[in-house]
């Protein structure tokens, strides 16, 4: 049985603990990710949000060693039996499946600091996404910004101007403070468009080694 990649360029890939059967996460694979998974013995996926191939644990070290690969009856979904090194979820939990919809109670887990593993920017971005998907009765400044595009745009412009003023006239501490404000509001702006910081990092990587003048000429600026 083979996968028809022309028919299904991306297929769901479910990661399951090979030892105890726990469902850990669901991601997607394109043909390259699938072949790399088979050839390396470690799970590789294709990120729809970042639009790139990624190896699970490439930043965190929380890799997935593949024990077995099983196709479903239609050959358009794959089940990975894996050994999970560390945790599977970016929240720091063992599994991505931890929220019960049928039970009206909050699931309490020990707080896990993921900033050292994933970086403060990515951790903050995921926190912003949680605010974005929160119910209407859960009020926060982030939610208010996301629900009011005009307010969000004005705050980004305001924070950019305050940073420029701080760089020109104020102390290093104030520059750092204003830069943090601008970065936070910029991340809220990215979240409003479902654009991950990783895609910005990729763009910076693309520009690396190219002069600013060449880059501007290349996009007609």
> Mean pLDDT in the chain?
86
pLDDT for residue 160 is more than 50:
yes
Q: Is 216 exposed, middle or buried (0-12, 13-18, 19+ CB in 10 A)?
A: exposed
Q: In terms of DSSP bridges, do strands 78-84 and 11-17 run parallel, antiparallel, or are they unpaired?
A: parallel
Structure token pair of residue 146: 């996301």
pLDDT for residue 181 is more than 60:
yes
Structure token pair of residue 172: 């290093």
CATH class of 119-211: mainly alpha
Q: What is the percent of the chain where pLDDT is above 70? A: 85
pLDDT in tens, 120-143: 888 888 889 888 887 776 788 999
Is pLDDT larger for residue 99 or for residue 72? 72
Q: What pTM was estimated for this model as a whole?
A: 0.55
**Residue 14 backbone class (left: φ over 0; alpha: ψ -120 to 50; beta: rest):** beta
Q: What is the sign of the dihedral through the CA atoms of 160, 122, 98 and 106?
A: negative
Assess contact for 41 and 57: CB atoms under 8 A: no
From 90-104, 140-154, 155-169, the region with the lowest mean pLDDT: 90-104
Q: Mutual orientation of helices 197-207 and 120-132 as an angle, nearest 10°?
A: 140
Helix/strand/coil for 172: helix
> Taking the domains of the chain in order of start, what are their residue ranges?
11-84, 119-211
CATH class of 11-84: alpha beta
Q: Is 21 exposed, middle or buried (0-12, 13-18, 19+ CB in 10 A)?
A: exposed
């Amino acid at each position: 049985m083979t996968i028809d990649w022309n028919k299904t360029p991306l297929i769901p890939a479910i990661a399951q603990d090979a030892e105890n059967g726990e469902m850990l996460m669901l991601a997607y694979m394109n043909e390259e990710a699938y072949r790399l998974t088979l050839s390396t013995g470690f799970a590789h996926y294709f990120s729809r949000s970042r639009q790139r191939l990624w190896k699970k644990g490439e930043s965190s070290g929380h890799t997935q060693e593949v024990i077995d690969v099983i196709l479903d009856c239609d050959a358009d979904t794959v089940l990975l039996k894996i050994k999970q090194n560390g945790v599977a979820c970016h929240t720091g939990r063992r599994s991505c499946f931890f929220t019960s919809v049928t039970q009206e109670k909050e699931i309490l887990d020990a707080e896990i600091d993921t900033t050292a593993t994933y970086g403060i920017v990515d951790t903050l971005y995921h926190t912003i996404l949680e605010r974005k998907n929160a119910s209407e009765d859960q009020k926060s400044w982030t939610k208010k910004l996301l629900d009011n595009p005009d307010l969000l745009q004005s705050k980004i412009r305001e924070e950019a101007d305050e940073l420029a003023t701080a760089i020109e006239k104020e102390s290093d501490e104030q520059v750092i403070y204003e830069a943090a404000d601008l970065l936070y509001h910029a991340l809220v702006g990215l979240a409003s468009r479902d654009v991950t910081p990783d895609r910005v990092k990729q763009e910076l990587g693309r520009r690396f080694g190219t002069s600013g003048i060449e880059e501007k000429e290349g996009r007609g600026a």
